[in-house]
Amino acid sequence: MHKRVQIVLSKDVKKLGKSGDLVEVAPGYARNYLLPQGMAVRVTPGVLKQIERRKEEERQRLIAIKQEAQSRKTALETVGRFTIAKQVGENDAIFGTVTDREVAEVILQNTNMEVDRRGITLPDIGKLGFYKAQIKLHPEVTAEVEIQVVSI
């Protein structure tokens, strides 16, 4: 078994890793292909410090995104209830259904907060009344708001 060498990828390499990853490869692969092609650099203490700094910056960025989602969740849940007017037939049955696009538009009108409609989960809404909707703001943050369907 030959000794493996550590290198840092400077470009994404299929089946090996992404740019900035520290990987171990065969010495010949590093020496004959990755290094001459400019796909990797040799590991030095300075390069390791750069990698750590980049990872920390990325971690901080992800934390900031999650905190932003938390604040948006708080804002949405503070408003709490959004009203959608629909045309009504017999027995309080509405024509059509309430769509995620309509919910996103109502949220935008009431709060000036843009919400991705693909992150909105609605129950089947067929009558007038109150319904709970889940809005996924981040992979770990979901807000729950109440939708009131009223007649026009």
Predicted confidence at residue 67, as pLDDT, reads: 94
The answer to whether 151 touches 128, Cβ cutoff 8 Å, is yes
- The Cα 148–Cα 103 span in angstroms is 10
The residue ranges of every structural domain in the chain are 5-63, 69-151
Look at strands 129-138 and 141-151 and give their pairing.
antiparallel
The answer to whether 120 touches 114, Cβ cutoff 8 Å, is no
Tens of pLDDT along 121-142? 999 888 889 999 999 999 999 9
Provide CB contacts within 8 A for 143, sequence distance 6+. Answer: 72, 73, 76, 77, 134, 135, 137
Predicted confidence at residue 68, as pLDDT, reads: 92
Matching CATH number, 5-63, of 3.50.30.60, 3.40.5.10, 1.20.1250.20, 3.40.640.10: 3.40.5.10
The model's pTM:
0.68
Predicted confidence at residue 1, as pLDDT, reads: 57
Higher pLDDT, 50 or 60: 60
How does DSSP assign 29-48, residue by residue? HIIIIITTTTSEEE--HHHH
Looking at CATH, the fold of the domain delimited by 69-151 is given as Ribosomal Protein L9; domain 2 (3.10.430)
- What's the pLDDT band for 55 if we cut at 50, 70, 90? confident
In the chain, the percentage of residues whose pLDDT exceeds 90 is: 48
Phi, psi torsion values for 144, nearest 5 degrees: -120, 125
- The Cα 103–Cα 109 span in angstroms is 10
Mean pLDDT of 99-120: 90
| pLDDT surpasses 90 at 64 | yes
Predicted confidence at residue 106, as pLDDT, reads: 92
**Averaged pLDDT score across all residues of the chain:** 90
Q: Would the CATH topology of 5-63 be identical to that of 69-151?
A: no
Mean pLDDT of 103-111: 90
Task: Name the least confident of 20-29, 85-94, 135-144.
Answer: 85-94
- What's the pLDDT band for 78 if we cut at 50, 70, 90? confident
